[in-house]
Amino acid sequence: MNIHALLSKQWTLPPFLPKRLLLSLLILLAPNAVFWVLALLTATARPIVNLDYLPAALLIALPWRFVKIAGVLAFWPAVLFDGLMMVIQLFPFMDLIGAINLVPFILTAPAPYQIMTGLLLLYMLAMPFVLQKAAAKTDFRHIAVCAAVVAAAGYFTGHLSYYDRGRMANIFGANNFYYAKSQAMLYTVSQNADFITPAWSTPSSSPWAISSVPPCG
């Protein structure tokens, strides 16, 4: 085939299938479902869609094993920040380092905390497997298109909220009722608040300069 014939040939993309688009959208939204339920049970705020799951879902949907592993590794931090943003609303001044320091005490924690930790670990292991099985019924092209639409919608609605707690300030993420937002980004913003930044600084002491006192009389 010569160059002229190659350039003049009509190239068409395969059509998008509605069922695959719907399944692809569900793959992107499914990781949020557990935290939707937890947010309702704990009366905490969270975005409808956590954008941190999009890269993980895209990587898991690709056919190469090492890329799927990278997707799982990207999925775990997304879950951790999603959970952390809920925890800091229930336990103010908790941060990532504080949560990590509490890990050794899980074995001696009350049973409800042990159960919740176990369910979280099970979710982190099971959900990537579920996403991989679901992705096998569609393809990367459909998932990528849905991810682009969700990311664009999140970008253009990033300043909008679906609920407002009135006069309650957005402290520790208490008013993070966004349509689509990155929980990792929201965590960074919450930790850089003006009132909380001094709490992470190391205290220091220095002697006061004592001026000479004039004699009485």
Please check whether residue 202 lies inside any domain of the structure. no
Along the 217 residues of the chain, how does pLDDT read in single tens digits?
A: 567 665 666 656 678 889 999 999 999 999 999 899 988 988 889 999 999 999 999 999 998 999 999 999 999 999 999 988 888 888 776 677 777 777 787 888 888 878 888 888 899 999 999 999 999 999 999 999 999 999 999 999 888 888 877 655 566 667 788 999 999 998 888 877 554 555 555 656 666 655 555 666 5
Please check whether residue 136 lies inside any domain of the structure. yes
The backbone torsions φ and ψ at residue 191, rounded to the nearest 5 degrees and listed phi first, read: -80, -10
124 vs 78: CA distance, rounded Å: 10
The DSSP H or E segment spanning 177 is: none
Across the chain, the runs of DSSP E, i.e. the strands, are 49-50, 180-181
Please check whether residue 173 lies inside any domain of the structure. yes
First to last CA, the chain: 111
Q: Which residue do the tokens 């992705």 mark? A: 135
In 3D space, the residue among 72, 78, 65, 79 whose CA is nearest the CA of residue 129 turns out to be 72
pTM score, whole prediction: 0.78
Q: What is the count of structural domains for the chain?
A: 1
Please check whether residue 54 lies inside any domain of the structure. yes
Please check whether residue 207 lies inside any domain of the structure. no
Please check whether residue 209 lies inside any domain of the structure. no
Domain of 69?
A: 17-99+106-191
Bridge partners (DSSP) listed for residue 211: none
79 vs 35: CA distance, rounded Å: 9
Which tokens hold the place of 29? 């939204």
Please check whether residue 214 lies inside any domain of the structure. no
Helices (runs of H) and strands (runs of E) counted in the chain: 8, 2
Please check whether residue 70 lies inside any domain of the structure. yes
